[in-house]
Amino acid sequence: MVLNLLKYPDERIRLISGNIRFFDDSLNNIITDLIDTMKANDLEALSAIQIGIQYAVIVLKEDGTYNPYINLRIIGHEGTNTETERTPYYEGISVDVPRHIKIKIFYEDKKGVAHYDDVEGDKARILQHHIDYNYGSTFVDRVDKETKQRIGEHLSEGLVESSNSSCPTVFVRDYIKQAYKYVMLLVWVGFLVPFFTESISILDGLFLFDKIALALVVPIVILYAAYAYYESVKFKQCTSCQFGNVMGTIALAGVQWIILNVITYFWIAT
């Protein structure tokens, strides 16, 4: 199906694309829509977000074949050069953009098979251009401040800035996680005290502290789980925000909490 290309000033171009975790007919349909849209608009490459699909899928036309690059990442690079680039999003604008001459990439095919490849020249530039879209960026973010300002003044509504729906660089849940980690670290450090003293009053005070600290961990972890769920809903396009990703952290905290309670009882109390 031919879908409409996002055009300026559509803010969806700034959304960060989530990784593909499904390699089935749904993915094949996305790839088909990308290819159909590329043919209709005579394009050499297209990112899924450019047609409003918020997943990390790029299709590149190579020798007449349309090849998908799923969850594409740059894992190495060499050299830089500057060439003129254009985009259907900012129609009528061309910009000289610096890019790496050679890149080493990781990506998956439509069956989920991982690939590594060394790419250079025009292909390297095109892939870098479209990876930017996956991260809520466009080529204007690659130019110097003066050029960017000049482009913004040329546009009727100025440059499209990052959307509030994009992934934040810092998550509140991470601060909460640090809080319970510090509390449990204090309990772990307390296990060293019996090596330096046999004072009953000191050990009784340490046991009381450990009980209070371990009791405090429970509401902190509950708060962490609740806020992680809130962020997974608010930033659902971010793969790092998916609630399933924090379940392992919660489970690990639970195991540590049980171990600390057992050691506290047998090591400090008795």
**Structural domain includes residue 118:** yes
Q: Are residues 32 and 118 both part of a single domain?
A: yes
Residue 266's pLDDT is: 78
Question: Which domain range does residue 241 map to?
Answer: 172-269
Query: 149 and 100: one domain?
Result: yes
User: In the prediction, which pLDDT does 121 show?
Assistant: 96
On whether residue 94 sits in a domain, the answer given is: yes
Are 236 and 264 members of one domain? yes
Find residue 77's DSSP bridge partners: 103
> Can you tell me the distance from the alpha carbon of 128 to that of 141, in angstroms, rounded to the nearest whole number?
13
Q: CA 252, 254, 255, 257 torsion: positive or negative?
A: positive
What pLDDT score does 244 carry? Answer: 60
Q: What is the pTM of this model?
A: 0.62
Are 146 and 210 found together in one domain? no
- Looking at the structure of the chain, the number of domains it has is 2
Judge whether 216 and 183 are in contact, CB under 8 Å.
yes
pLDDT at 238: 54
Which pLDDT score, from 0 to 100, does residue 164 have?
45
Return the SS3 of 204: helix
What is the distance of C-alpha 247 from the center of its chain?
17
DSSP string covering 151-168: HHHHSTT------TTSPP
Q: Kindly state whether residues 99 and 15 are assigned to the same domain.
A: yes
137 and 203: one domain?
no
Q: Which residues contact 31 (CB under 8 A, 6 or more apart)?
A: 57, 59, 66, 68, 110
163 domain-assigned: no
Which CATH number goes with the domain that contains 74?
A: 3.90.45.10
Whether residue 35 is found in the same domain as residue 82: yes
pLDDT score, position 165: 46
Q: In terms of domains, do 209 and 140 share one?
A: no
Shared domain for 106 and 176, answered yes or no, is no
Whole-number pLDDT of residue 40 = 98
- The model's pLDDT over 143-164, given as tens digits with 9 standing for 90+, comes to 988 998 999 988 988 888 765 4
Amino acid 245: pLDDT = 62
Residue 215 lies in a domain: yes
Bridge-based pairing state of the strands 45-47 and 57-62: antiparallel
| Residue 6 domain flag | no
Residue range 2-30, pLDDT digits in tens: 999 999 999 999 998 989 999 999 999 99
115 shares a domain with 22 = yes
Q: What's the pLDDT at 172?
A: 81
Q: In this structure, are 176 and 125 located in the same domain?
A: no
**Measuring CA to CA, which residue among 223, 211, 137 is closest to residue 172?**
223
> Closest Cα partner for 52 from 24, 10, 101?
10
Query: 22 lies in a domain?
Result: yes
Q: Name residues of the chain where pLDDT drops below 70.
A: 162-171, 233-245, 268-270
